[in-house]
Amino acid sequence: RQLAAWQPAPEGADAPRQDVAERLGQWLNVADAIALRALHQALPAVKQRPRGKGAAMPAPAELQAELQRVRQALERAITRHDADLAEHEFAPVHQHVLDLQRHMDMRIDALRDHVRQTLSMASPSLAQLAALDASLHQLLGGREQHLLSTVPSFLKARFARVRKAAEAAEDPAEPATGASTAAPVAPTLTADLHALLRAELELRLQPVHGMIEAYGQAVQAGQASPPTPGAPAQQTAP
C-alpha cells in the first residue's frame, strides 16, 4: 500500500481486481504447482510423525517476546544509520536499504526457523502448519525476494519526484544551486524511507506472527503440549 500510494493511479483502475488465488497462481509455475500438490498429499504423514518426549516447550508469551526483540532491533537499525538524504546522490540511500534488507533476512529467517521447530514439536496440527510454512517459504521466497529487491528503485523515483516538486516551488529569483532544495526535503525523504522500511519489516514478520498466534491459541485450547515450567525460549542470533 505504501508503494501504491506513491504511484499515479493506473489506467483502468476501476477494473475488477484479481482475488488472492488468481494472484498467487501468477507466482507459481508448473513445477511449483506439482511441489505444492505433493506437499498437500504429504501433510497427513507429517501429522503421524512422532514428536520429541519431554522437550522443553517455550510459553507463547516467550515467543512473542522474542518476536518483539527482533522487531525492535530491526526498527532501531532502520533509523540508526540514516544515509545523508540531503545529498542529491541516491547511491548511499540505495546501499543503506540493501544492507538493511540483508540484516532483516538474517534475523527473521533465524526466528522463523526457531518458531517452526517449536510448532513441529507442539502438536500434530501445528507440525503440519510448520511444514506448510517451510514449503511455502521455499516456493515463494525467491519471488518475494525479487519483488523486495525493487524497493530501492521505487525509492529513487519517489526521491526524484519530491526534489523536483521542491525545486518547482522555489523562488525563481533564487539561484538554482540545489543546496536550498536539499535541506527542506530531507525530513520528507527520511520519513518516506522509514515508513517504507517499517512496512517491509512488518511484511517479512507476518508469517512468524501468524505461527506464534496459532501456537498460542492451541496452547490455550489445550490442543498443544503445555510449556515446560521455567523452560527458557531458545534465543535467536543477535
User: Residue range 14-33: average pLDDT?
Assistant: 64
The residue ranking higher by pLDDT, 210 or 89, is 210
Residue in the block written with cell 519526484:
161
Q: What is the pLDDT of residues 189-221, one digit of tens each?
A: 888 889 999 999 999 999 999 999 999 999 998
pTM, two decimals, is 0.76
Cα–Cα dist 192/75, whole Å: 14
Share of the chain above pLDDT 90, in %: 34
CA distance 183 to 178: 9
CA distances, 231 to each of 56, 62, 130, 220, 226 (Å)? 6, 10, 21, 17, 11
> What values do phi and psi take at 228, rounded to 5?
-70, 125
**C-alpha Rg value of the chain to the nearest Å:** 23
Mean pLDDT across the stretch 137-153?
Answer: 89
Q: Compute the average pLDDT of residues 1-27.
A: 58
85: pLDDT confidence band, cut at 50, 70 and 90?
A: low
CA angle centred on 33, ends 29 and 34, rounded to 5°: 120
What confidence tens digit (pLDDT) does each residue in 167-180 have? 777 655 555 554 44
Question: Exposed/middle/buried for 62, CB within 10 Å: 0-12, 13-18, 19+?
Answer: middle
Which of 5-19, 58-72, 125-139 shows the lowest mean pLDDT across its residues?
A: 5-19
Name the average pLDDT for the chain.
78
Query: What is the pLDDT confidence band of residue 27, given thresholds at 50, 70 and 90?
Result: low
Whether the pLDDT of residue 117 is over 90: the answer is yes
